[in-house]
Structure 1
C-alpha cells in the first residue's frame, strides 16, 4: 500500500468541476461482506444522496486499483480489508452531481468483494449511517448496488 498523503482525498474545486464536466471518473466500489451480511452506508451527498450504497471512491493518479480499495475502506469505513475477488468494471451514469451544470456524473467503477478486518466502522462525512444487512433484510437498493450484489452472489438475478 502507498503511504497516505496528509491532505484529504479531494481535488481543488475548479479542477474537480473540470473533471466531472468533461471526463469519466475512474473509481473503486467495495462489496463489503461482514458475517452473514453486506455493509451498506447511507450517502449524504450527490450522486445517490440518501441511498444505501456500497463504499467507493475515485482512484488517485499513480495509485493501483488495490491500493485504492484499501485507502477507500480506511477513509469511508475506518477499517482495512482483504480483497476476496474482483467483479470487473461498471459504467455508472448519474443525472445528479455535486457540481452544478456538469451534465451529471460518469464513473467507471471497478467492483471488488472484500472482507473487513474489524466489525466496528467509523464513517466519513459522506455518510450518516452504516449497517450490515442480511440478504433477506436489504433495504430498497439503487440499481448499481443491486448489480454488484447479484454479481457478488449475494442476490439472485431477477
Structure 2
C-alpha cells in the first residue's frame, strides 16, 4: 500500500499521535495514511493533516520512501501488511488541533516519547530540518 507519513513540526517540537488500532497500537507514531486512487502524495498529505489532526499544513521537505512491514492485516486470508510510506516534514499553518478515531492522544514532543515505534526513528534520522532527539 502506498501511504504518506507526516512529521509535523508544531510549537517547536514534533507532533505525534498515540495509535488506538493496529498496526502500531499503543505506540506514538506519525500521523499518516493511504494515498487514494488518483490522489497525489502531496494531496494526501493535506487531506490527512485535516482529517486526522484538524490542521492545515505546509510541506517543508520530502524525506523519501520508507518500508513498513507488519505481521497483521485487515484483509481476510492475508497475514501481513506492507506499506511504502512517503515521509514529509510539514509545518502546521492553521486549523485547530484535534484527534481522530485512530489516536487516543496527540502530543508535541521535544525528546523521544515512550513508547516510540521503531519505524519512526528512520524519519527523524532522514530529516534535515528536525533536531535529532537523544
TM-score normalised by L of structure 1: 0.77
User: Which of 116, 125, 132 is residue 150 of structure 1 equivalent to?
Assistant: 125
Cα deviation, 1:51-106, whole Å, max 9, x if unaligned, reads 11000000011111110000010011011100000000111001123345421110
Q: Spell out the pairing of 1:62-141 with structure 2 (5 A cutoff).
A: 62-118=38-94, 120-135=96-111, 138-141=113-116
For 1:142 and 1:108, locate their aligned partners in 2 and report how far apart those are by CA, in whole Å.
16
SS at match of 1:124: coil
CA 55–38 in structure 1, closer or farther in 2 if over 3 Å, else same: same
Q: Runs of 4+ in structure 1 displaced over 4 angstroms?
A: none
| 8 Å Cα contact 1:34-1:119 kept in structure 2 | no
CA 118–71 in structure 1, closer or farther in 2 if over 3 Å, else same: same
| 8 Å Cα contact 2:54-2:95 kept in structure 1 | no
Does residue 37 of the first structure (1) align with residue 16 of the second (2)? no
> Which has the higher relative contact order, 1 or 2, with Cα contacts under 8 A spaced 6 or more apart?
2
SS at match of 1:103: coil
The number of residues matched between the two structures is 132
**Larger fraction in helix:** 1
TM-score normalised by L of structure 2: 0.90
Between 144-153 and 62-71, the greater mean CA deviation after superposition? 144-153
SS at match of 1:113: strand
**Gap runs ≥5 in structure 2:** none
**Larger fraction in strand:** 2
